[in-house]
Amino acid sequence: MAGFVLLLGLLIRDVGRMLLLVMNIQLFKELCEATGAPGFEYGIRDLIIKTVTPLADSVTVDNIGNVIAVIKGKSSDKKIMCAAHMDEIGFIVRHIDDNGFIRILPLGGFDPKTLTAQRVTVHGTKDLPGCMGVKPIHVMAPEERTKMPAVTDFVVDLGMPKEEVEKYVSIGDSITRIGDLVEMGDCLNVKSIDNRGGCFLLIEAIRAIVEAGQKPDYDLYAVFSVQEEVGLRGAQVATIAIQPDFSFALDVTIAFDTPGSGAHDKCTVLGKGTAIKVYDGTLITDSRMVKFQQALCEENSIPYQLELLAAGGTDAGAMQKFSAGGSIAGAVSIPVRNVHQSIEMAHKTDVQASVDLLAACFTSLSRWDWTWERKVRTLAPKAEACEAKPAAKKRCCRKK
């Protein structure tokens, strides 16, 4: 009988996790499809404020445009900062030529060959649909057919003459890509999972804690940062203001698990779980944090994989070094195929595993030994275990 009850409980838990994700695919869709190039995060900012306000003790917007939601913890002795950048790669209007075509500059990094046949939205006094194209292959010289285009070779066509374009569009307006969400098998395919997926993780982890009647171990500063794609700028500003003791970045990482990849090149694999960052171009993750996250995954049966990203970085690189004395920094990443394209793809299992790990991190920091001296670490018993077994109290809520 006891075994049946345990099995039933596990089944209910797993079904609950699946229902949670299904119920929130709509939020995932809204976040990814919202607009907000670096420095122009208006649409996504409004959506995040609307969504996170009911879950937080306070929500503010700083001078650079970061949204900072504070969730009071069990203790205010330390601070947790968790950053998910809300900007997406995009463009800025550089010039409007005599025929109404728009010349652009990039806001973030692009692989130019992925831009051919891309639909976009130009955000002028009203939003206008446009498309990006290049010289047709039919009129290319042989040497042109093998030449790689540059981002600045592309123009945006609004289908209007210059006089009509200038009624709505000005130099300096932003441009974002169009890419609606499509469910493909067990995956979600849409633009800007980088990094609306990270925003989703942060919102849903907070929601999970609040709805379970829990609190983070310490005061949590949930930062939806701006301008990450052009240099981690929002995270730097927020870190200087908050001065966190612990910091987490939420972002995507490369899943190069497609044909032609070598075993050492994959970085991560879709469907194998959340990615615990070990290394990237801006961060050597604190080894204590890596072991802490691994222990939580093992304790909670959360599928995970380790991430070493040869190039690129996240807000963790800023949070680690812009806090006086440094913060103990780590990152939770969603494995994604086709990064920085309008067809980014993530597996639902990996997304849910990332939510579960993040929520566990927020509520378990006091259970870990963060000293430098000890090399072998284990999680202290949970508080409820301490109450059930008083002898275990000696290892609970360790002093940091």
Q: What is the pLDDT of residues 315-356, one digit of tens each?
A: 999 999 999 999 999 999 999 999 999 999 999 999 999 999
Q: Which two tokens stand for residue 397?
A: 């809520």
Which residues of the chain are in CATH 3.40.630.10 domains? 2-88+191-368
Q: Which one, of 203, 219, 228, 235, lies nearest residue 47 by Cα?
A: 203
Give the pLDDT confidence of 249-281 residue by residue, as tens digits.
999 999 999 998 888 889 999 999 999 999 999
- Domain 2-88+191-368 is found in CATH 2.60.120.10: no
pLDDT in the model for residue 397: 52
Q: Which one, of 106, 185, 219, 100, lies nearest residue 153 by Cα?
A: 106
pLDDT in the model for residue 143: 86
pLDDT in the model for residue 54: 98
CA gap 204, 297 in Å, rounded: 18
C-alpha of 74 from chain center: 26
Number of neighbouring beta carbons within 10 Å of residue 29? 18
Q: What CATH number does the domain located at 90-177 have?
A: 2.40.30.40
Which residues of the chain are in CATH 2.40.30.40 domains? 90-177
Q: What is the mean pLDDT of each run of 10 residues along the chain (400 residues)?
A: 49 48 82 98 98 98 98 98 98 98 96 92 98 87 86 94 97 97 97 98 98 98 98 97 98 94 90 97 95 98 97 94 95 97 97 98 97 85 67 51
CA gap 336, 265 in Å, rounded: 14
Residues 6+ apart with CB under 8 A from 334: 193, 197, 198, 201, 251, 252, 253, 274, 275, 346, 350, 351, 354
pLDDT in the model for residue 261: 86
DSSP string covering 117-174: TEEEEEESSSEEEEEEE---GGG--HHHHTSPPPGGG-EEE-SS-HHHHHHH--TT-E
CA gap 22, 352 in Å, rounded: 10
Question: Looking at the annotation, which residues are catalytic?
Answer: 228
Residues 6+ apart with CB under 8 A from 23: none
The DSSP H or E segment spanning 189 is strand 187-190
Give CA angle at 92 (91, 98), nearest 5°.
115
